[in-house]
Structure 1
Amino acid sequence: MDFSITQYSKFMTLLDMLLHNLRTLHMSLEDSIKWLGEVMAEIGPTQSQNNEKQNVFDIRQANAIIDYLKISLFQHYRLYEFLFFSTREEIVIGTEQLIEVVKTSVRPFPEPLVEGISLDIHSTFIEPPSTSDTEIKGLDQEQGPEHAQSESDTSDMDPLVGFTIEDVKSVLAQVTEDILTGIQTEINEKLQIQEEAFNARIEKLKKA
């Protein structure tokens, strides 16, 4: 309607007062229509030249406002009364879930998450060293460079010493077979589900 700022303010105040009369004053439909007529007589068009400057809406705008209120608020007045005055039962739908947390122990174990790491890796790389480990390191420093040299020589040894190529191949074949078996089983299950879905669709098409 290309209202001005003053017209927007009056129009929103009018809507708010109509809902206030219904919600707070419990005004009936007839009383609301009478109240609207009185208000529109003040802010709407009049034939008096003295109040011409106080008129906010012209005839076209006033008729548009009345038509809007007739098809929105007044036409569904009983629905608004039901909304404001009728008590309704509040239905809460929810699910209670019980979460069990691992009890804390003297030894700090990894968090029980799906993406948690194994205890061996946690104890080796993440878990802070205990007091006994610190004392052992202190003793190692006191023993001097000769003992450290012997430990470095031991650490330089190939961990695969004593294993043949056939042993490595057998281990790799077993690991690969386990992985492929799991993947193949998963693929077969998905294919079976899709096949059942397609068969159901075909049966529906046949019946149609």
Structure 2
Amino acid sequence: MANTTVKGSGKKGKTSHATIQIMGKGQDAYKDINWKTLSDEEARNLEKEGSLAWKILSNSQTQALQDMTVEDVEKKLAVILELTNSSTDPQDAILLDYYTVGFWWAKEEGFTSQQLSAFITVLNRLLENIKDKNYSLSENISDLKSMMVGIGADSVEASGGLDFLDVEQAIKISDYIKSSLFQHHRMYEFMFHGQRKEEIIGTELCVETLPAANVPFPAPLDEGLVEDMYNEYIAPPEAFDESENEELAKSATPNEEQLTEKKDEEVLKVQVEVDPLNDVTADDVKRMFDIVSAEMFGNLQIDVTRKLREREVEIITRINKIHKVAETT
């Protein structure tokens, strides 16, 4: 049973404060409490001395986490538990996964906000035992048993802080911690206390740098240009000697021999351009077509005639066989 006594001030604009007194044993003492309506301070004031609820997660945080998806729960727990380096630190990633999976399991089991918060406290305490106190497996099991004291008992004088759980929930929690933590206890011990060897791997590379882009070495490929663009926009102008200029000037003035050669080339060009078919008549063209046709289609006609004869002989042979069969019948 939960007896509720409400005390409020009569002044306008001030919020009334509720004082709730818990009476009863075990889980029944909290069955009428609506945790959603309580502040964090009110929820803490409801707890008995030594309770494990609200140690890691407050009432408001637990209420908010219950309405989130598993991805959002993981992000929120990373902030609350200060495991913000989970993307780069393997230890933070392992711990964040353990807390997230544990919270989601308890939520699926239908735990109340008080029970969810206490369960996260249990997980944290067992992990801290390994990390800070260097507990062995047997010592951690003994500590879990001490936290389970008072569950389902008629007397509440001795309590391990989880007396708001029933016996069935305690068994589920024990089985879960056994399969998730105790069976891998040595792995968590190694994670917290194992000496990791730091290996610095280096590779020496001999890199040959490119020489300057001066003759006879070409420019690197990333600076290369098409030759036409290089010659037009980048290449320096070539220096000509005076003797070369005189030779160019002489070659530019045509002499008699050059003029004669040019005329001869024009005469030959005119002779080549004469149409060779000017003297061909229509009869010549017809005669040529007859010769080509006879050569191309002569053999084809012989082959067709031979195949027709072979086919005719084959058909006549079949007809004779049919007559013979008809006469015998």
Give the TM-score normalised by structure 1: 0.42
Higher relative contact order structure (alpha carbons within 8 Å, sequence separation ≥ 6): 2
Give the TM-score normalised by structure 2: 0.29
